[in-house]
Amino acid sequence: MRRLVEFIRSIYVVVLFVLLEIAAVSYYARSTAYTEARLLARTNSMVGGLNKLVTDIGNFFLLGRENRALTARIATLEEELARYREADEAGKLKVELRTMGESKYRMTEAAVVSNTVGRAHNYITLNRGGADGITNGMGVITPDGAIAGYVVDYSEHYAVAVSILNPVFRGSGTPEGTAYQGAIRWDGKNPHFVTLEGLSKYAEPAVGQKVFSTGFESYFPAGLLIGTIESATLDQVGTTYTVRVRLAADLSAMNNLVIIENLDHQEINDLQSSEVIKNLEMN
């Protein structure tokens, strides 16, 4: 009991001050209708600001889940778009719309675990692996359909893709509105540009013209955006162009990507590496 009395004596000044302040504010608030309204407005403003802060914090932590949901939706839409492109190129769009058969491309969303752009050889690590049906030779694109790379190795839960910003990357591109194509290469310098090599002089590439995938590589369907032409130089003999292409994908700012599986990839690969082909090359 003695300790309680001593504790009260030690804080009674502070308690008395707080009580007097509360009484003063209460008296001031009720002195006129104007002061009461102003105090109520200030209180509501403070409470509203606090509620907004709590809401903003909650929305921030929901962004990751919303981004994953959006990327999954984009993967589904890209799969449908690939089916329409196939049907359109084969001249069977009307039949496709009636039957809505299965596409030979399957899309899977993936988050970027690590990614490099400033090295001589750049790779992208993704959080999808063999357990998710990922295998070598699958294409990797951005959610808006621009080429980023293709899978070259995988474990149970992760995959590594060779980036388009890698000298070992192998792909081809064609300028929009032409039937000509060239090889896509990265010179190891600027991470925003690649080179379209060996393009026929008859292609007549123009600045600002878009460059798309040809579909000749089994890991990418035709019609995916690679970038836009910045410049084109004709070789000394005047037969082919070397074209500088600004990449559509900003590979330095990637969080989520889409993995494309060509369901015919293994069949095509087996056929191209068959014994018949090997024997022809040996003769």
Listed in sequence order, the residues at least 6 apart from 150 whose beta carbon sits closer than 8 Å to its beta carbon are 137, 138, 139, 140, 161, 162, 169, 217, 219, 220
Distance CA 190, CA 192 (A): 5
Q: Is 114 a member of any domain?
A: yes
> What is the model's pTM?
0.63
SS3 268: helix
Whether 205 and 232 have beta carbons less than 8 Å apart is answered as yes
Query: Widest CA span of the chain, in angstroms?
Result: 109
Q: Is 129 a member of any domain?
A: yes
Query: Which tens digit of pLDDT belongs to each residue from 48-62?
Result: 555 556 556 655 555
For CA atoms 126, 129, 135, 136, give the dihedral sign: positive
Q: Is 19 a member of any domain?
A: no
Q: What is the pLDDT of residue 105?
A: 81
- Residue 254, domain CATH: 2.40.10.350
Measure the N-to-C terminal CA separation of the chain; round to a whole number of Å: 108
Angle, CA of 229, 250 and 129, to the nearest 5°: 120
Whether 217 and 183 have beta carbons less than 8 Å apart is answered as no
* Position 102 confidence tier, pLDDT thresholds 50, 70, 90: low
Q: Is 211 a member of any domain?
A: yes
Q: State both tokens at 182.
A: 């060239």
Q: Is 3 a member of any domain?
A: no
Could you tell me the residue range of the domain that residue 88 belongs to? 67-272
Q: Is 258 a member of any domain?
A: yes
Q: Is 103 a member of any domain?
A: yes
Helix (H) or strand (E) holding 37: helix 33-89
* Position 81 confidence tier, pLDDT thresholds 50, 70, 90: confident
Query: Which tens digit of pLDDT belongs to each residue from 156-211?
Result: 999 999 999 999 999 999 999 999 999 999 999 999 999 999 999 999 999 999 99
Q: Is 47 a member of any domain?
A: no
The total of structural domains in the chain comes to 1
